[in-house]
Amino acid sequence: MGVTKSEIFTDQQNQISTFAKAFAHPARVAILEHLFNLSACVCGDLVNEIGLAQATISQHLKELKNLGLIKGEVEGTKVCYCIHQENWTAMKEIMNEFLNQDKTVTPECC
């Protein structure tokens, strides 16, 4: 126990929860905001901006990269991270469809 039973859910449900997990930590939200603002894109800068250890930021960057939401480019000893525009857009559509479910029905039940 303690392990999510993803077999019993649809691909769409698992996909939504996977994307949501990316945003389910304030550090990753902060990282993404910095990348969008272009206020920091190098790992070291993000470490300074956000107050977490380098190893921790690197780990969060890895998760975002694995999900495809960002991409990293090596520039000498530094690595510059950027939003992966296409994948971000694709993710957004999936999340929006889920969030906008309330538009498609005229509810009332209890």
Partner DNA sequence: ATTATCCATCGTAATATTGCAATGAATTTG
Partner DNA sequence: CAAATTCATTGCAATATTACGATGGATAAT
- Residues in contact with DNA by CB under 7 A are 1-5, 21, 24-25, 27, 42-44, 47, 52-56, 58-63, 72, 74, 76-79
Kindly tell me which of 11 and 103 has the beta carbon lying closer to DNA. 11
Residues that bind its own copies (CB under 8 A): 4-6, 8-10, 13-14, 16-17, 20-30, 32-33, 36-38, 41, 50-52, 73, 75, 80-83, 85, 88-89, 92, 95-96, 98-102, 104-105, 107, 109-110
How is residue 38 annotated by DSSP?
Answer: T
Alpha-carbon distances of 14 from 11, 19, 48, 94, rounded to whole Å = 5, 9, 34, 12
Please name which of 41, 21, 45, 44 lies closest in space to residue 32, comparing C-alpha atoms.
41
At its nearest, how many Å lie between its own copies and the CB of residue 86?
Answer: 10
At position 4, the amino acid (one-letter code) is T
In the three-class reduction of DSSP (H, G, I as helix; E, B as strand; rest coil), residue 78 is classed as strand
